[in-house]
Structure 1
Amino acid sequence: MSSTDKRYATSIDLPTEDVFRNLQNACHFAVDIGGSLVKVAYCSKLHRRTSQVRDHKEDNNCIYQVLEEDGYTRRLHFIKFETKYIHQCLDFIRGHLMQSKEFMLEKKNIKATGGGAHKYKDQIIKTLGVQLDKEDEMECLINGSNFLLKNIPDEAFIYQRHGQSEYQFQGIHHDIFPYLLVNIGSGVSFVKVESETKYERIGGTSTGGGDILGTWISSYKKPSSLYAVTFDDLLELAEKGDHKKVDMLVRDIYGGEYSTIGLKGDIIASSFGKAARTDKENVPCYKDEDVARSLLLSISNDIGQLASLYCRLHQLKKIYFGGYFIRGHPLTMHTISFAINFWSKGEIQALFMRHEGYLGAIGAFLKGAEEEDTDRYTWGENFAGCSGLSSSNPLLDSRERSSTFDMLELDKLEKMLQPCSLLLDPNSYLPDTVDLTTDTAAREYWIDCFSNSVDKCIWIPFVRSLLDTSSHCLSDCLFTDPYSQVRKLVIVMPRKMPGSSVEYFKS
């Protein structure tokens, strides 16, 4: 199995309590079953313990009192794994789902989408003892996309492989419509999304991910040492290739650029054009990896050109890409971004989503949770339970986890977030902040500052450093805030007199 396979979805090492967290308290359930991957979505009721510090006016000997309250909130869980392990997962889910009284007594139905919803329907019904409601795949895809773009900060990003920063995150824009969603699987669908309920498939092409893998496999009768049998193996092989040994460039025809019509010399004039040319001994001067690279560029350029033309035809300014073809793979995003930039003449940039693999599962879940009024709440990403983006550097992309899943968890916030009413145009407002993902010098400076201060904070702790400590994991494990009193009081400890008394001042 390739390194790309391993970081995207691998086998399940049961028990999987760390992955299917809080499954025994699930109240809604949905699945998106594809040919290669299964995405599971469920909502759980999460026990929360909150604490408040109040003045104690009755007892003069007591400065304050801490009151604890028990409550419940909602958390959305999304897990992604390989379809071939669906049998083990269904058995595991059955053992834990039966403990959820709310689900077994009230719901007992699961929303499903994807082609595998038909294939595994009988097995799901038999194993879990539930009813399976099949939802429209395209509708789920659009609903999931809208939900992520409206709720998750920095969900969308621009990928620039050779830029100062690889990922340029876009933040949340309250006016996300209209946009073009390009879903690249075995084939390609182009969907114009105009509102929450209005969308239209405006075109498609059979030249997609299936075309790349099918062409590659059918071209080789006898496997070689570099023979790729999966799409991930093919992408890994393409990373090592040089398409210029296979493709015919403009300069190969004209000896340089064709300035009259605006073609630079390094532009591809004919994909695989050099493959028809061999030396006198008929020995090809290119390798397998060069062919793989050329094949990927050929398909990506065609998709990018079609996407740009559809945007121009329908006057759209934003293009989001998703599907099995993308999956956060750096080389794929690079080729798509280059194609969009070239064919749109720099007017449009390709946009990708961090969690695009969950669009169908999220959409199916929302169909089954309409009574929860998810639009009335704001959801925040629980980073402690989420997977990150892949890095183009293999050394930086090792995920230390006994069961390698991709996961996403969203917590319902106490209050719904709204743009400030005093802003004239929230979408054009630029906050006075420094984005450390784009400023390399500032990022390195602050990382050095934080790294150099770690030992000092350990050996010489002080109030401010305690207040800066994140309480996210403590809250997740139902611990109360240990720094409640110092948030209410300011503690002053003279350094030269370690034995002196501590003075308390009301903040």
Structure 2
Amino acid sequence: MEAGRIGIDAGGTLVKIAYEESGRIKYRKAGYKEAKELLNWLKLIAPSASPSVTGGKALWIKENFFPNARLVHEFEAVCSGVDILLRKENNTTAGQFIVVNIGTGTSIFLAGEGKCHRIGGSGLGGGTLTGLGNLLTGTEDFSEIVGMAAAGSRQHVDLLVKDIYGGRDEPLNGDMTAANFAKGKGEGKEDLTAALINMIAETIILLTSQLARANKVDTIVYAGSTLAGNAPLKDALSAYTGAFGLKPVFLGNGEYCGALGALMAESATEH
């Protein structure tokens, strides 16, 4: 591996790595229970590397694994990574657009036209999914929670508009949520997790749609580790985004935006 060509995003839940090998960018990730093993592997294969590190636990990486690491501002890294992935996927997003990065929590950026800055966010994200999911189901395993949600129905848990109006003279779409978890029951863990993912999706798109309207933007680019392998969340976000008259774009490898942006930030300083 070419020394120095490494970007690390140390978030609240995961450590994500983007590294260059034989002229290609490769990716790896681990939760913090396995992070030491991953980082020691990285030191083994690239002992002279000085990676660029971003994220809330970047200083922990620097102090414990790579003393020569360069620290990169998290929001700058995310914005740079999104731009790189959009160009790599030949996605022509003209003008400005909204970036929704769903990690442990959620950050929302206004991007495009050579600019990118954070304009909002929410405490709901992947940390909510695993933390509250653990309280509801007894497991904090991300894949298990997502699998349960895919098999469940939120209609047994959420109070819907049609539940109140009985299908008559409804002022809103009857399938819209009147109150999350208001029925206080479900037919199993699957229903509870389905309602949880829906609540996260609803909250994110309600915030995002308001910011999009205020900034006259119609394209929403979704990224972040919580979307990886999470079809229920992607499906909900896609449906809600379209319902608000907005265009959803889901980035391939979007969970590595921060790591990729950190790697490329270092490359920029070399030229």
Question: So what's the TM-score if we normalise by structure 2?
Answer: 0.88
Aligned to 1:319: 220
Residues 489-500 of structure 1 aligned to structure 2 (within 5 Å)? none
CA distance in 2, matches of 1:362, 1:271: 36
Which of 66, 91, 96 is the matching residue for 1:172? 91
Alignment deviations for residues 190-219 of structure 1 (CA, whole Å, 9 cap, x no partner): 1101333x222111222333334333444x
SS in 1 for 2:16: strand
RMSD: 2.4
The structure that has the greater radius of gyration is 1
Do the aligned residues in 1 keep the contact of 2:180 with 2:195 (CA within 8 Å)? yes
Cα deviation for residue 372 of structure 1 reads: 5.8
Residues 7-46 of structure 1 aligned to structure 2 (within 5 Å)? 23=1, 25-26=2-3, 28-44=5-21, 46=22
Do the aligned residues in 2 keep the contact of 1:31 with 1:113 (CA within 8 Å)? yes
Alignment deviations for residues 125-177 of structure 1 (CA, whole Å, 9 cap, x no partner): 3xxxx511111010000011111112x23xxxxxxxxxxxxxxxxx432x544
Aligned to 1:77: 25
Aligned to 2:54: 113
Cα deviation for residue 306 of structure 1 reads: 1.2
- What is the letter of the counterpart of residue 55 of structure 2? G
Cα deviation for residue 26 of structure 1 reads: 4.0
Which of 139, 144, 153 is the matching residue for 1:228? 139
Distance 1:306 1:91, change over 3 A: closer
- What is the letter of the counterpart of residue 150 of structure 2? E
CA distance in 1, matches of 2:125, 2:62: 28
- What is the letter of the counterpart of residue 310 of structure 1? L
Higher relative contact order (CA 8 A, sep 6+): 2
SS in 1 for 2:5: strand
User: Is 1:188 aligned to 2:116, yes or no?
Assistant: no
SS in 1 for 2:214: helix
Residues 108-507 of structure 1 aligned to structure 2 (within 5 Å)? 109-125=50-66, 131-150=68-87, 152-153=88-89, 171-173=90-92, 176-196=94-114, 198-218=115-135, 227-259=138-170, 261=171, 263-275=172-184, 286-342=187-243, 344=244, 347-370=245-268
Do the aligned residues in 1 keep the contact of 2:158 with 2:177 (CA within 8 Å)? yes
SS in 2 for 1:309: helix
Alignment deviations for residues 367-399 of structure 1 (CA, whole Å, 9 cap, x no partner): 1111565xxxxxxxxxxxxxxxxxxxxxxxxxx
Do the aligned residues in 2 keep the contact of 1:26 with 1:42 (CA within 8 Å)? no
In proportion to residue count, which structure has more helix? 2
Distance 1:252 1:112, change over 3 A: same
SS in 2 for 1:215: helix
Structure 1 residue runs of 4 or more that deviate by more than 6 Å after TM superposition: none
Distance 1:248 1:311, change over 3 A: same
CA distance in 1, matches of 2:45, 2:158: 54
Q: Which runs of 5+ in 1 are unaligned?
A: 1-22, 47-74, 99-103, 154-170, 221-225, 276-283, 374-507
Q: Which runs of 5+ in 2 are unaligned?
A: none
- What is the letter of the counterpart of residue 119 of structure 1? W
- What is the letter of the counterpart of residue 45 of structure 2? H
Distance 1:371 1:217, change over 3 A: closer
Distance 1:271 1:92, change over 3 A: closer
Among all aligned residue pairs of Structure 1 and Structure 2, give the percentage whose two residues are the same amino acid. 27
